[in-house]
Amino acid sequence: MHSLAQEIRSFSRANLRKQRTRVTTLTGRRIVETWRGACLHTEEVEEAAPGGGFVQDLSADLQVGVVKPWLLLG
């Protein structure tokens, strides 16, 4: 069985998969963030979406979830 200290020592950043993160700002701008080495690179991929960076939900949510007898989630 490996100890946690051995697992930490054997960790290598090279074994991690490369990821791209798409970020939508409050103004609706869409940005792609990627890590290259130790630097974060950003690139704007699209124009600002009309209506900002969120989707307005006008439908009524009439369901209430009971988490605990004294705590409700709606």
Contact predicate 72/48, CB 8 Å: no
Classify residue 16 by its DSSP letter: S
Instruction: Give the position of tokens 């006008």.
Output: 58
Instruction: Sheet with 39-46: list strands edge to edge.
Output: 20-24, 30-36, 39-46
**What is the pTM assigned to this prediction?**
0.48
pLDDT digit string (tens) for 12-64?
877 888 889 988 887 778 889 998 878 888 888 867 666 666 667 788 878 88
